[in-house]
Amino acid sequence: MEPVVSIQGLRKRYGHVDAVAGIDLEVQRGEIFAFLGPNGAGKTTTVEILEGFRTRSEGEVNVLGVDPAKGDAAWRNRVGAVLQESNAEPGLTVRESLQLYSGYYVEPRAIDETIALVGLEEKADTIGTKLSGGQRRRLDVALALIGDPELIFLDEPTTGFDPSARRTAWHVIDGLRELGKTVFLTTHYMDEAEQLADRIAIIAGGRIVAEGTPETLGGRNRMAATIRFTLPEGTGAADLPPELRALLAGEDGRVTLTTDTPLVHVHALTGWAIDRGIDLPDLDVRQPTLEEVYLELTRSEP
Ligand code: ATP
């Protein structure tokens, strides 16, 4: 099947600056794809080229089978975008805004169904400007969906949301997957990418520095695991058996061990502790978090 988004050798120069310095990417139909990177990495530039809002300097770009630089009205109807700035019409209610926007499309979605999809049923007759920030963002998503697009760009969709509003928004975005939509998400929140994305690409300094699933990005699944625990008063890391002492990575109240074979070493640790009647109440074992991997991959970039 043809990818929904396909980019080869994309470059964008502003004067002498390569804001996007030759990137290749593909996004498949039905995927939620997260595009991450530090400020100034080239995300907005890339997304705006894909949306047909910015010209490129070099490279091949194909979105839904069309070069966005040549996208006509029919192509534009197949693409939805939620930008950082709200699209809400001043003075109109949620329902009226959606009615207005639905008039722009040949085959719009049903209005009440779209309101329900973003969970704004109780606010359907409220003026857009009287909504909370999070509710306005949900209205923006509804406005992007009203034309029933195949591909939706979401630019930092939950910035400024409280934790429960973020969960609701995630639920809405997850629902788009069930509708068979393709989602191109930019975000600065690692937990958001981890929760939603089928695949992640990290851009830094205009280049893709890693691409993969949340579990495998940057070799995360192959990285050493960390075992952490607190020993009781009077016992220290020096009392551990030699095979565990060899893994010592830090002792600052809690002992930190790093290992490529966590199961074996947790077994050794718990066996040792039980033999001595030592409890390890805060024992935890984990792979590096997505945030740790991200910081490592983007560390040397400006
Ligand atoms: P953020 O996370 O801060 O939104 P971003 O990854 O979206 O950042 P871009 O907005 O794509 O980054 O910017 C990439 C680089 O291109 C930056 O160095 C920026 O200063 C530069 N840039 C962006 N737009 C222009 C422009 N119109 N003219 C000149 N330089 C620009």
Share of the chain above pLDDT 70, in %: 98
Atom nearest to 38 CA in ligand 1: 2
Local confidence band at 301 (pLDDT 50, 70, 90 cut-offs): very low
Atom nearest to 45 CA in ligand 1: 11
pTM for this entry? 0.84
For residue 161, pLDDT beyond 90: no
Helix, strand, coil percentages in the chain from 3-state DSSP, rounded to 5:
35, 25, 35
Most informative mutation of 13, 16, 17 for ligand 1 (most atoms within 8 A of CB): 17
- Give mean pLDDT, residues 224-244: 94
Model pLDDT, residue 138: 86
Local confidence band at 69 (pLDDT 50, 70, 90 cut-offs): very high
- Give mean pLDDT, residues 196-209: 96
**Each residue's pLDDT tens digit, 33-58:** 999 999 999 999 999 999 999 999 99
Residue nearest to atom 9 of ligand 1 (CA): 42
**Each residue's pLDDT tens digit, 136-153:** 888 988 898 899 999 999
Buried b (16+ CB within 10 A) or exposed e, 59-73: bebbbbebebeebee
Residue 14 near ligand 1, beta carbon < 6 Å: yes
Domain residue spans in the chain?
A: 224-286
Local confidence band at 87 (pLDDT 50, 70, 90 cut-offs): low
Distance 45 CA to ligand 1 centre (A): 6
Residue nearest to atom 27 of ligand 1 (CA): 14
Residue 44 near ligand 1, beta carbon < 6 Å: yes
Residue nearest to atom 19 of ligand 1 (CA): 40
| DSSP letter, residue 53 | S
